[in-house]
Structure 1
Amino acid sequence: MTTIYDIAKATGYSPTTVSKVFNHYSDVSEKTKNKILDAAKEMGYLPNSHARTLMTKKSWTIGILFNEFSGMGIRHPFFNGVLDSFKRAAEAQGYDLMFISDNIGGKSSSYLEHCRFRSVDGVVIVLADALDPGVEELVDSGLPCVILDYESRKAGTVCSDNVNGSFLAVQYLYELGHRHIAHISGGEVTFAGRHRRLGYEMAVSRLKLGKREDYIVTGGVHFSTRDGYAAMSLLLDLDQPPTAVLAAGDNLALGAIKAAQDRGLKVPEDLSVIGFDDIEAAGLVTPALTTIRQDISSIGKRAADMLIQSIETVRAPEAVVLPVELVVRDSCKPL
């Protein structure tokens, strides 16, 4: 079995320097680090996790708290992609991942108790429920935390620019000549839902479209195709249905398109629809969905980097808002 002494001999560096590389010390140059890591890979070296834990006083484990109050589930393509990016970034820096729940061995516990039981070094929290006292207890504990799609003064946060994304979508529809633009909202419970609605309302105000309460229909916190279908059905029942719709999520948009088609309408000939997220299915359906793209890879990587930095050095919580972009496909048409 290859040891750090074998790698030291092969590279010409001291065993201490080799050990520092595997334990992520910052006082080793990138050139030295890369040479040692390349040699370790060629020689099939696997660091001893127990020895590393004893040396660094860390478990080298990050907890993932996927708070499923919304019922979306980890199979949702957006969060699945974000967590995949987070996983790759964390593992590249030597960390393993573990899911955290409020259950240990079949017995009810708090999230914090589970984190302490598993000795995780930090936690990434997805779909945080502001009303969940367990999440609040965890964030207040001092354990390094990063929360996705959330606002907090006590933990680092990473989200997309949801407000500007909705604004861009409405502005694009306006430029196509639409003046009756509705919004299928993600509701007020979720951070993304609130901010995407805010962006829609800001655009309606600045473009002087005239706010209509009946043009804002809550699609539900699940952001599902079923919710989008139901919301679009309500909009189509109005005396003056919209000519264009911004949905707060791509699944909502896909459901809205199906509802319109079931009424005998064509998209985009009779109704223009824009989604939000740019999940994989958005470019595969017919018509291909115009949408607001979130940078899934950057969200996951930035969250991992931020959390690991807070684990390894004491730092104030940071709030990161990442830019979005409009992806024009086939589901919108000029009037």
Structure 2
Amino acid sequence: MTTIYDIAKRTGYSPTTVSKAFNNYSDVREKTRQEILRTAREMGYLPNAHARTLTTKKSWTLGVLFVEGTGVGIRHPFFGAVIESFKQVAVAKGYALMFISKDVGGKQSGYLENCRIHGVDGVVVFLSDYEDPYFQELLESNIPTVILDYETTQSHTVCSDNIAGALQAVEYLTSLGHRRIAHISGGENTFPGKQRENGYKAAMKQHGLKVQEGYVSVGAFYSLESGYAAMQSLLELPERPTAVFASGDLLALGAVMAAKDKGLAVPADISVMGYDDIELARYVTPALTTIRQDTANLGTRAAEILLASIDGNRQGMEALVLPVEVVVRDSCAPPGNE
């Protein structure tokens, strides 16, 4: 059985250095660590998780908190992409992920109790009921947390610039000549949905455009179905919009389906623009013009901030806002007739 002493002998480093490399000590150079890890893999060495926990006083486990009423959120391709990039960084640093629930052993307790039972080193929050007392209890504890797509001074946060994204969307549509621009909102109950709606309204005001009655239609839970229903209500308005900016790509794709079922062509009769740039957006017909969020960077930075916080390398709470950009494809065009 291979030991750290065998690896030390093979690499020429001391057993202490080898041990520190396995446990991600900051005083071991990354090049040295990678060399030791590569040699360990070649020699078939598997570090003992229990021994590593005793040595470092860590569980080497990160909690993932994801609560969403309908259960569709975790399957949304945007969150899937962010979780994947978060996981890649965490796993590379030796951490495992586990989902956090309020149900422990069949009885409802709380997130904090679940975290204590499993001894997680930190928690990443993708979606939650932010008014839940159990969630607040977790934020007020000494367990490091980072939250995606939210704003609070109680935790590290990472999000895209939602307001700027909405401004860019309206700016692009007005550059094509649109004046009657409607919005399918993600709803007041979500932080990004509220910000994007505010950004849309601010952009319309900047361009001297009126948000007509009924021009903001709510698409709950960012689903295809709610996008379809929201677009149906917009198409029934006395003065139909010539362009629709949706708060998410699935909402936009649902809107395109509703327009087609109404006998309208996209973008000849009505333009549709999304938000997220999920992978599917480029493959549908017409390919979706959208606002791109950098999912890889969102997950990566969230992981880096959380791990640094666990290691005590973060002073205060960091609120990171990442830029977004317009991705022009085929679902938007100048209006035919105003």
Name the TM-score, length of structure 2 as normaliser.
0.96
Give the root-mean-square deviation of aligned CA atoms: 1.1
Equivalence for 1:236: 235
Equivalence for 2:199: 199
Once the two structures are overlaid, the 10-residue window that deviates more, 32-41 or 106-115, is 32-41
Equivalence for 1:307: 306
Equivalence for 1:317: 317
Show CA shifts across 1:111-166 (max 9, x none): 11000001000100111222111111101112100011101101000111111111
Q: Distance in 1 between matches of 2:263 and 2:23?
A: 62
Give how far 1:219 is off: 1.2
Equivalence for 1:119: 119
Q: Distance in 1 between matches of 2:70 and 2:292?
A: 22
Pairs within 5 Å for 1:236-315: 236-313=235-312, 315=315
Q: Distance in 1 between matches of 2:45 and 2:16?
A: 16
1:214 aligned counterpart, secondary structure: coil
Equivalence for 2:162: 162
Equivalence for 1:110: 110
Equivalence for 1:46: 46
Give how far 1:70 is off: 5.5
Equivalence for 2:225: 226
2:81 aligned counterpart, secondary structure: helix
Name the TM-score, length of structure 1 as normaliser.
0.97
Give how far 1:212 is off: 2.2
Contact 1:69 1:127 in 2 (8 A): no
User: May I ask how many residue pairs the two structures share in their alignment?
Assistant: 334
**2:92 pairs with 1:77:** no
Q: Distance in 2 between matches of 1:31 and 1:162?
A: 38
Contact 1:63 1:98 in 2 (8 A): yes
Q: Which runs of 5+ in 1 are unaligned?
A: none
Kindly provide the amino acid, as one letter, of the partner of residue 163 in structure 2. V
Give how far 1:107 is off: 1.5
Give how far 1:281 is off: 1.3
Q: Distance in 2 between matches of 1:223 and 1:31?
A: 43
Contact 1:169 1:292 in 2 (8 A): yes
Give how far 1:2 is off: 1.5
Contact 1:290 1:331 in 2 (8 A): yes
1:74 aligned counterpart, secondary structure: helix
Q: Which runs of 5+ in 2 are unaligned?
A: none
2:72 aligned counterpart, secondary structure: coil
Equivalence for 2:100: 100
Q: Distance in 2 between matches of 1:148 and 1:213?
A: 32
